[in-house]
Amino acid sequence: MDIKQQKINRLREKLMSTRRVVCTGNPNNPNTLASGIRTLFPDTTFVHLSNGWDFKDQSINFQQRLKTLFSTHNTFINASYIGPGVQSYLLELCNQSVTFCDVFNIGSTHEYDGLGTIDYQQSKLDLRHNSLRLNSYRFQTHHIILGGIKLSGNPETHNWLDVSTICQIIPWILNQKFKIPLITIDQAKMPW
């Protein structure tokens, strides 16, 4: 490895040594990944409709507000499906706003199982495509395809993936010596 590459590596390591995390979703709802992220990264900046972030607003002013937010963070957890194309939109804005960033895009097994609506499935497929397309040394993306999430108080989901278990995959990915641009975690399937 040449000297220039070593300097760039040291710079990235220094910038990423203190995680400044921004995450979509309301951490006060125990059924969201945001609630599990708050446990892992207590100083996370959470963005969701109930605290003034209406992601359906794609005005220039709102885009600038998002870019300013992203520019002060080095980790983005793109956890919430808000509407068709919104997660890809946020991914693009983040990419335009940061120097170095680790991004975790949350996909869905509906990308391949055909069980979700067409809009939802296409939105998650587009997110996966854009995540892989934008993945670079500077902007390291990880697309996590998830199965069903266990919902508190819903007995039908008691064998599904627990929020804290899902969220633990993020520090695990960060601590690997190799890169993981794509991973799938699914609950046990019923034998029918």
Its pTM stands at 0.93
Q: How far apart are CA 74 and CA 18, in angstroms?
A: 9
Of residues 86, 78, 36, the one with CA closest to residue 58? 86
CA dihedral 40→46→51→52, nearest 10 degrees, is -170
Instruction: Give pLDDT, residue 118.
Output: 96
Eight-class DSSP state of 102: E
Burial 94-115 (b: 16+ CB within 10 A, else e): bbebbebbbbbbbbbbbbeeee
**Are the CB atoms for 102 and 49 separated by under 8 Å?**
no
What is the identity of the amino acid at 101?
A: C
Instruction: Give pLDDT, residue 153.
Output: 87
What confidence tens digit (pLDDT) does each residue in 98-112 have? 999 999 999 999 999
Q: Which residues of the chain have pLDDT under 50?
A: none
What confidence tens digit (pLDDT) does each residue in 121-140 have? 999 999 999 999 999 999 99
Instruction: Give pLDDT, residue 191.
Output: 63
CA distances from 49 to 24, 54, 130, 157 (A): 9, 5, 24, 26
Instruction: Give pLDDT, residue 13.
Output: 87
**Helix-strand-coil split of the chain, %, nearest 5:** 45, 15, 40
Instruction: Give pLDDT, residue 192.
Output: 55
Instruction: Give pLDDT, residue 190.
Output: 66
> What is the arrangement of strands in the sheet containing 139-146, beginning at the earlier edge strand?
45-47, 21-24, 75-78, 101-106, 139-146, 182-185
Write out the CATH class of domain 3-185: alpha beta
Domain extents in the chain? 3-185
Instruction: Give pLDDT, residue 94.
Output: 98
Instruction: Give pLDDT, residue 56.
Output: 87
CA distances from 117 to 108, 122, 176 (A): 12, 9, 34
Of residues 105, 109, 116, the one with CA closest to residue 161? 109
